[in-house]
Amino acid sequence: MVAELARDGRLSVRALAERLHISRANTYARLERLRTDGVITGFTARISAERAGLATSAYVSVSIEQNAWRDVSARLRELPFVDHIALVGAEFDALVQVRAPDNAALRDVVLEQIQGVPGVKATRTWLVFEEFDGRGADWS
C-alpha cells in the first residue's frame, strides 16, 4: 500500500483497493492505521522548483556553536527559501537546502539571514547546476 501511494498519492481508496486486490473497507482501514501510526504523514504535490520561480538552488553547510542546535534549527525553519534542513554527522553540523528565485536572493538568504542567526559559526555554499530524481526508497 505504501509503495502504491508513494508512486501516486492521489489514488482514490477504490483505485488503491483494486491495485492491491483487497476490499475498499480493508483498504480504508489499513490507510487509516498507517495515518494514525504516523507512517503516512500527509499527501502533497511534487512541485518543479524551477517552473515555480525558484530557479537557483544551493546546499549550505552550517557550523553551529555547541548546544545551540535547537535554537538555530528553529530559526532556520522560519527563513524564506529554506527547503530542507538536516542535522548531520560531518565536519559541519547541518546541511540546508535553499531554493531561491535568483542569485541575489540566494546571497541574501546565506550571507544575511543564515549567517545572521545567533549560534551560526560558519557556512559554506554549493551551487546546484542540475538535479535528478533517484529511485527513492523501496517501500515494497
Are residues 31 and 60 both part of a single domain? no
Band of residue 45 on the pLDDT scale cut at 50, 70, 90: confident
Domains in the chain, number: 2
Please check the confidence at residue 139 and state whether its pLDDT lies above 80.
no
Quick check: is 114 in a domain? Answer: yes
Range of the domain at 8: 2-36
Are residues 71 and 31 both part of a single domain? no
Quick check: is 118 in a domain? Answer: yes
Q: Please state, in angstroms and rounded to a whole number, the distance separating the CA atoms of residues 104 and 109.
A: 9
Are residues 117 and 69 both part of a single domain? yes
Quick check: is 117 in a domain? Answer: yes
Residue 133: predicted pLDDT: 84
Quick check: is 90 in a domain? Answer: yes
Q: Tell me what percent of the chain is helix, strand and coil, each rounded to the nearest 5.
A: 35, 20, 45
Residues 6+ apart with CB under 8 A from 42: none
Strand order in the sheet with 120-128: 82-87, 94-100, 56-64, 120-128
Radius of gyration of the chain from its Cα atoms, rounded to whole angstroms? 19
Please check the confidence at residue 16 and state whether its pLDDT lies above 90.
yes
Are residues 61 and 29 both part of a single domain? no
pLDDT in tens, 76-99: 999 999 999 999 999 999 999 999
Are residues 114 and 71 both part of a single domain? yes
Are residues 19 and 60 both part of a single domain? no
Are residues 60 and 124 both part of a single domain? yes
Are residues 79 and 114 both part of a single domain? yes
Band of residue 108 on the pLDDT scale cut at 50, 70, 90: very high
Q: Please state, in angstroms and rounded to a whole number, the distance separating the CA atoms of residues 61 and 91.
A: 9
Band of residue 135 on the pLDDT scale cut at 50, 70, 90: confident
Quick check: is 121 in a domain? Answer: yes
Please check the confidence at residue 61 and state whether its pLDDT lies above 90.
yes
**Cα three-residue angle 113-115-117, rounded to 5 degrees:** 70
Are residues 11 and 71 both part of a single domain? no
**95, HSE (Cβ side, Cα atoms, 13 Å):** 8
